[in-house]
């Protein structure tokens, strides 16, 4: 394919050299998404939920996670998103990768990169690469919820965040998300996170963060 052939092409597939917008694999996962869950599951059906984004200001992603407590393998992963075709296809493929062949172990699944998803999809347009990150963020949030629910606080991922409650490994980002989800008081944040319950020395900083995020997002 010559430079002249590429002129006017919106996107060139980095894997095949073809001019396209979406590969046939991307289209397949967009029109026939795997593991999509359109209705909320029954209470207790899954071990953890991860939600990122806000429908009020952009894409959102929710992931439900079920784990074999004995083997640490992911036995089921369902998802729902308010996002574009690339977000749908990326998450569909991501869910397949984590659950195929009996399911990945959590530590293995946490090593899956957005680039790995794009390889399985036969590429994405560069301007859509960020869509493959949405599922990863929601998955990591679900994994952290699972770790906390199962008492594995030492395994909680805290990259790029400040740990506020050292006993439960809860960060300032967790508190920020709780406020964004509607928690307005210390009691409401504690209902979501149990933050500060076993670490009373953290309470002043927790209350300060709640006030800060309330003012930041709600005025």
Encoding tokens for residue 127? 């301007």
- DSSP string covering the chain: --HHHHTT-S-B-TTT--B-SS-HHHHHHHHS-TTB--SPPPTTSSSEEEEEE-TTTS-EEEEEEEE-TTT-BEEEEEEEEE--HHHHHHHHHHHHHHHGGG--BHHHHTT--HHHHHHHTT---GGGTTHHHHHHHHHHHHHHHHHHHTT-GGG---TTS-EEETTTTEEHHHHHHHHHTT--SHHHHHHHH-TTSS-GGGHHHHHHHHHHHHHHHH-
Using an 8 Å Cβ cutoff, are 29 and 121 in contact?
A: yes
Q: Closest by alpha carbon to 95, among 72, 71, 120?
A: 120
Active-site residue identified among 93, 131, 164, 195: 131
Task: Check 42, 55, 56, 57 and give the catalytic one.
Answer: 57
Active site residue 131: yes
Question: Hey, which residues are catalytic here?
Answer: 57, 131
């Amino acid at each position: 394919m010559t430079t002249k052939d590429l002129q006017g092409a919106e996107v060139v597939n980095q894997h095949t050299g073809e001019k396209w917008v979406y590969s046939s694999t991307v289209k397949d996962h967009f029109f026939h998404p795997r593991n999509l869950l359109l209705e909320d599951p029954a209470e207790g059906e899954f071990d953890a939920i991860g939600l990122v984004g806000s429908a009020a200001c952009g894409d959102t992603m929710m992931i439900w996670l079920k784990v074999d407590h004995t083997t640490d393998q992911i036995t089921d992963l369902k998802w729902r998103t308010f996002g574009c075709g690339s977000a749908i296809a990326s998450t569909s493929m991501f869910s397949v990768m984590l659950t195929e062949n009996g399911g990945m172990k959590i530590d293995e699944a946490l090593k899956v990169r957005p680039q790995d998803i794009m390889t399985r999809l036969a590429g994405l347009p560069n301007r859509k690469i960020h869509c493959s990150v949405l599922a990863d963020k929601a998955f990591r949030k679900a994994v952290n919820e699972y770790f906390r629910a199962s008492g594995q606080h030492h395994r909680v991922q805290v990259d790029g965040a400040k740990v506020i409650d050292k006993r439960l490994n809860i960060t300032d980002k967790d508190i920020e998300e709780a406020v964004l989800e509607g928690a307005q008081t210390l009691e409401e944040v504690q209902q979501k996170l149990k933050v500060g319950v076993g670490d009373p020395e953290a309470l002043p900083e927790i209350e300060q963060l709640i006030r800060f995020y309330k003012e930041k997002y709600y005025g």
